[in-house]
Chains A and B, each alone.
Chain A
Amino acid sequence: MDITPATAAPPPLGAAPAPAGQKATTRPGDRIFLALSRGSGILLLVIMAAIAVFLTVRATNALSHNEGNFFTTFEWSANSTPPVFGIAVLAFGTVVSSLIAMLIAVPVAIGIALFISHYAPRKLSTPLSYVIDLLAAVPSIVYGLWGALFLVPHLGGLYSWLNDYFGWTGIFEYHDGAARSLFTIGILLAIMILPIVTSVSREVFLQAPKMHEEAALALGATRWEVIRMSVLPFGRSGVISASMLGLGRALGETMAVATVLSPSFEIGKSLLDPGGGTFAQNIASSFKESGEIGKDALIASGLVLFVLTLLVNGAARLIIARRKEYTA
């Protein structure tokens, strides 16, 4: 671990002119600079560790006061005495809304990525990828505002129709009212993660070996056959990690969910009726009314969210890293 640039680790391309056997003198400027830059790297690791430690400390404080079961209680009364709270509803809402978002966003994102990389006229594809990148910059609170004031009123009709034809399944039951439900959240999250999933998938599709594509074309394949046989297999792991990055975003999205969802602490059978909650939304909406224990309880639920996103993002990064080694 402890390496000086001149001996154990020559600078990139072995440019250090240290003759064999003679130890190069390190200048004080070099030492200070190395210490500074390595220090910042270490600082980043320390921050990550500190996040885990501080959240855990506060969370254990809350859990020691909790009268309910943290994982199975369907209630969030962290401010009453004795405090009773559990994350069952939040975990359900977070996972379900993120999964709905993935189900909608991933196929569409693959479609757009293919459109940009293989279907769109070249003149169109550059500005398009530009626009997609810009859309990733729209702040989540703006998505939330649009979702609450535009999307929700427009989804009522669709939900009634779903209720008429698929209401018998139970999950598509809908009773009139504002469509501020988990399914709406799923749709909104899908729109929000679309840009990131698209841009990562597009990068991977563009890297597909041109020779394979041309070989397939020369054999008389149609464009779809080219994509199915040479582009999609090449891009599979890239698309998987792109979707997991999107999933990470969806799991932790706060303000858009907090503005659109009308929360309740029960798990309803229907996805279309208002109710439910997510980790991040619950933290943002109930923070201001929380006392000491209440805040610690919210931190405990935040810790669960932290671990969840850590796992998802870590897995996505490992897949990307494996793929890099494989192709390089």
Chain B
Amino acid sequence: MSGVTMNEQLVADGAPQAVSGLYQPRLPRWAPAALALGAAVVAIAIGLGAGLGSRVQWGLLAGVLYVAATFVVAARVEGRRQAKDRLATSLVWVCFLIAVVPLVSLMWETIARGIKVLDGNFLSHSMAGVLTIQPGGGVYHAIIGTLEQVGIATVIAAPIGLLTAIYLVEYGRGRLAKAVTFFVDVMTGIPSIVAGLFVLSFWILMMDNGYSGFAGSMALAILMMPVVVRSTEEMLKLVPNELREASLALGVPKWRTILKVVLPTAIGGIATGVMLAVARIAGESAPIVLLVFGSQLINNNPFEGAQSSLPYYIYEQWAAGNEASYDRAWAAALVLIAFVMILNLVARGIARWKAPRGGRS
């Protein structure tokens, strides 16, 4: 489909500069790679020669050189149209590399710096009695906090989200359904800090409750609901209508049809959606700062008193601003990323394993 082969055999469109026979001259296949290598070498040479300090500049320089060189060479050999095509191709490749570099660097830094203090002791101890400038201490209290807060948020948000999606797909007609659809979309974009402020204003400031893990869970649930609705809705739409019709034709009530036929068919996709939503809220730190307050100690009760959480712990250790706390922050970041990534991979695995087959597309 990409058209490479067609392109390469394209007869020159009556171009006057066609040199020999019907074919326009083409650059050899290895030309882009050679140009890229050349651009990189020249950029490094310039960077070293002119004493440019940051490697970011070297990379940018190499990118600019590569794009320019490709365009000029192609324009001389192949003509203007082909040169434009090459220009676009090289730009797209450069875009891709520009994006990959920071992301790879992020992963690399987190793993390389996080692995330093990450061990059994780090995972099984809290920060009780550890000064921020001392090495040692751990994330146990933060892991407990994250698991409890995310768990409660899931218990609140998953049923509501699921039922809303069922309403939209199985019952939804008219203005109410339209309004719900629109506001679910809009709700997906609510900044996490605003959800935090909302719970702060009604739960803590108006109803005068203290800071607790539960308050954080409510904000997380608000963030989670629209994500669950969206993904469940997509999955329910994939369930073939023949199944519903067959069940209804046998005289099964609609609610039993939904519970026993529609949901089991889509359960894999729904589980995936819920897990992806969990992965999303597990990394939220803004509502935690406002509502859970943070703590150095292990607090197993999410309904009373300040707790910590992994994202909050990272923020706190970063704010402490010394080598020992930076190490802990990186290690906690590694734990958090590992948690989120494992959730993601498992969720996608379930989606692939349980994908509804033979559905209408």
Residues B164 and A44 in contact, CB atoms below 8 Å apart: yes
Candidates B174, B192, B202, B290; contact of A9 at CB < 8 Å: B174
Convert A89-105 into 0s and 1s, putting 1 for each residue whose CB lies closer than 8 angstroms to a CB of B: 00000000000000000
Once the chains are docked, how many angstroms separate the CA of A41 from the CA of B179? 9
Contacts of B13 in A (CB 8 A): 220
Residues A13 and B183 in contact, CB atoms below 8 Å apart: no
B17 within 8 Å of A (CB atoms): no
Asked, given contacts A15-B244, A111-B91, A254-B286, whether A50 binds B202 with beta carbons under 8 Å apart, the answer is yes
Asked, given contacts A137-B344, A149-B326, A259-B318, whether A295 binds B187 with beta carbons under 8 Å apart, the answer is no
- A258 CB, min distance to chain B CBs, angstroms: 8
A3 within 8 Å of B (CB atoms): yes
Residues A41 and B190 in contact, CB atoms below 8 Å apart: no
Contacts of B6 in A (CB 8 A): 217
Convert A109-152 into 0s and 1s, putting 1 for each residue whose CB lies closer than 8 angstroms to a CB of B: 11110110011100000000010011101111111111011110
The stretch among A63-71, A167-175, A224-232 that forms the contact with chain B is A224-232
Once the chains are docked, how many angstroms separate the CA of A283 from the CA of B229? 29
In the complex, residue of chain B having the shortest beta-carbon distance to the beta carbon of A244: B189
Task: Please report which residues of chain B, range 163-199, place their CB below 8 angstroms from some CB of chain A when the two chains form the complex.
Answer: 163-164, 166-177, 179-180, 182-195, 197-198
Asked, given contacts A15-B244, A29-B255, A48-B183, whether A138 binds B283 with beta carbons under 8 Å apart, the answer is yes
- B75 CB, min distance to chain A CBs, angstroms: 13
Contacts of A130 in B (CB 8 A): 348
Asked, given contacts A36-B163, A41-B176, A42-B176, whether A141 binds B88 with beta carbons under 8 Å apart, the answer is no
Contacts of B171 in A (CB 8 A): 5, 9, 11, 34, 37-38
The stretch among A79-87, A268-276, A309-317 that forms the contact with chain B is A309-317
Candidates B84, B93, B103, B184; contact of A191 at CB < 8 Å: B103
In the complex, residue of chain A having the shortest beta-carbon distance to the beta carbon of B84: A224
Once the chains are docked, how many angstroms separate the CA of A155 from the CA of B175? 51
Convert A170-198 into 0s and 1s, putting 1 for each residue whose CB lies closer than 8 angstroms to a CB of B: 00000000000000000000010010001
Residues A223 and B110 in contact, CB atoms below 8 Å apart: no
The stretch among B48-56, B121-129, B297-305 that forms the contact with chain A is B48-56
In the complex, residue of chain A having the shortest beta-carbon distance to the beta carbon of B6: A217
Contacts of A310 in B (CB 8 A): 186, 189
Residues A108 and B189 in contact, CB atoms below 8 Å apart: no
| Interface SS of A by simple majority | helix
Once the chains are docked, how many angstroms separate the CA of A306 from the CA of B201? 14
Once the chains are docked, how many angstroms separate the CA of A84 from the CA of B183? 35
The stretch among B33-41, B133-141, B245-253, B266-274 that forms the contact with chain A is B245-253
Residues B198 and A54 in contact, CB atoms below 8 Å apart: yes
Size of the A side of the interface (Cβ < 8 Å), in residues, is: 114
B333 within 8 Å of A (CB atoms): yes
Residues B96 and A225 in contact, CB atoms below 8 Å apart: no
Candidates B85, B167, B189; contact of A222 at CB < 8 Å: B85
Task: Please report which residues of chain B, range 68-112, place their CB below 8 angstroms from some CB of chain A when the two chains form the complex.
Answer: 81-82, 84-85, 87-89, 91-96, 98-99, 102-103, 105-106, 109-110
Residues B253 and A27 in contact, CB atoms below 8 Å apart: yes
A161 within 8 Å of B (CB atoms): yes
Contacts of B229 in A (CB 8 A): 44
- A151 CB, min distance to chain B CBs, angstroms: 8
Candidates B7, B170, B193; contact of A11 at CB < 8 Å: B170
Once the chains are docked, how many angstroms separate the CA of A149 from the CA of B112? 13
Residues A137 and B280 in contact, CB atoms below 8 Å apart: yes
Instruction: Provide 27 A-B residue pairs closer than 8 Å at the C-beta atoms, listed in order of the A residue.
Output: A3-B173, A30-B255, A34-B255, A40-B161, A40-B167, A43-B160, A44-B160, A44-B183, A47-B222, A51-B194, A58-B201, A107-B95, A112-B96, A119-B2, A119-B93, A138-B340, A139-B336, A141-B311, A142-B314, A144-B318, A154-B56, A220-B13, A225-B81, A249-B189, A284-B289, A295-B200, A296-B205
Additional pairs, 15, CB under 8 Å, beyond known A8-B173, A47-B222, A54-B201: A3-B174, A13-B241, A29-B255, A41-B168, A41-B180, A55-B194, A137-B280, A146-B105, A154-B56, A157-B54, A194-B99, A222-B85, A259-B318, A310-B189, A313-B185
